[in-house]
Amino acid sequence: MNEHVPAAHLTDPTVLVTLTGADQSGVSTRLFERLSGFDIEVIDVEQLIVRGRLVLSALVTVPNDLTTFEQTMRSVGDQFGLEVELEQGIGDNRPRRVGRGQVTLLGHPLRPAAMAAITQRITDAGGNIDRILRLARYPVTALRLEVSGADPDILQADLAEAAYKHGVDIAVEERGILRHAQRLVVMDVDSTLIQGEVIEMLAERAGFGAEVARVTEEAMNGELDFEASLRARVALLEGIEASALDDVRASLEYTPGARTMVRTLRRLGYRFALVSGGFLPIIQPIAEELDIDYVAANELEIVEGRLTGRLVGDVIDRAGKAEALRRFAAEARIPIKNTVAIGDGANDLDMLAAAGLGVAFNAKPVVRDQARTSVSMPYLDSIVYLLGITREEVEAADEDDRSRTP
């Protein structure tokens, strides 16, 4: 038996008081001061301010003297020049419907036509938008829509087509207590965490840059077997001095927003892994610089200070990436449902499918089409919005860190 039985039962009569108008200091205080004069209970409160316009709603049990109650509420409105609406009903407003999902929408820019299409698809799927919250206004516009009444898996499929048509990104996650738990973020490196492909940079030094770039493109599009194509490309690196690895590493540039994403999520206790078809001499220093917990990548054979054109050990291919995700999740004792995978190539598809949230980041068409969630914005920190973190929270945390630094 549930010992926490609410005093106001779900079937008891209630009244919803809503005040709207220009936002002013002291409105909520005055409202609840006047409400305290009645023998009632507060069931729910919601407040929203958009461009200086206030919407404040309080759901309370019905007072004995409803006429006096209405007069009192309207006097609060008169004091602040606000419109007042009262609506009687039963229980805790409308009961929440089954199928609780969180839809995150990213646009750069976000057009009204996109909003119309997305909201219509939610309605068509039997969903109701309970709340909309802006997560960021730059460098992308990010909104979170809390939806009830629609199965999140069905909703994801329904919204993907509309999102692609209108040039926006959509992510749908089931809402529940697990979304607050610690997560493991597993990232691809080349063309995801960093800009460009390391193997192409090395091949330039051997005079095979164009040839390797072509093969890399075909492999990332899923047109070639990854392991066979990787061995063929590595063979072209034979004879390159090992010092070229240091030169390439020094020239690497992180994807915009990469440091912000890692810094922000590490504050929340998230763990990180780099799982790459690239090479350990490049990946390991990146992991150390960013304080990454786990690494899986390929090892180049080096003899007498030069690359032999061969790999050492097993290749981290498409299946290997997914296996690494599962292994690291087990080591971190984090459920697979609470893992996030980010990648751009066909060799990332198994990893994206295995993760609780798989994100195709600026991905090849074959990857974007198969991934449940796709982000086409050029900013890696857009991922934090998919996890419900606002831009204001990120900036406030950064400012707090700066204030603590001597």
Catalytic residues: 188, 190
The structure tokens listed for 215 are 């093969």
Total count of residues recorded for the chain:
406
Provide the 3-class DSSP secondary structure of residue 4: coil
Distance CA 291, CA 75 (A): 58
Question: 143, 42, 155: which is closest to 98 by C-alpha?
Answer: 155
Q: How far is CA 4 from CA 8, 43, 208, in A?
A: 12, 15, 70
Provide the 3-class DSSP secondary structure of residue 73: helix
Distance CA 316, CA 321 (A): 6
DSSP labels, 88-115: EEESSSSPPPS--EEEEEEETT--HHHH
**Residue at 402: amino acid letter:** R
Distance CA 222, CA 367 (A): 9
Distance CA 320, CA 186 (A): 13
Place of tokens 């090479």: 279
Question: 397, 385, 380: which is closest to 135 by C-alpha?
Answer: 385
Provide the 3-class DSSP secondary structure of residue 145: strand
Question: 129, 134, 180: which is closest to 385 by C-alpha?
Answer: 134
Distance CA 40, CA 8 (A): 9
163 class by beta-carbon count within 10 Å (0-12 exposed, 13-18 middle, 19+ buried) = buried
Question: 156, 133, 154, 147: which is closest to 175 by C-alpha?
Answer: 147
Distance CA 29, CA 112 (A): 36
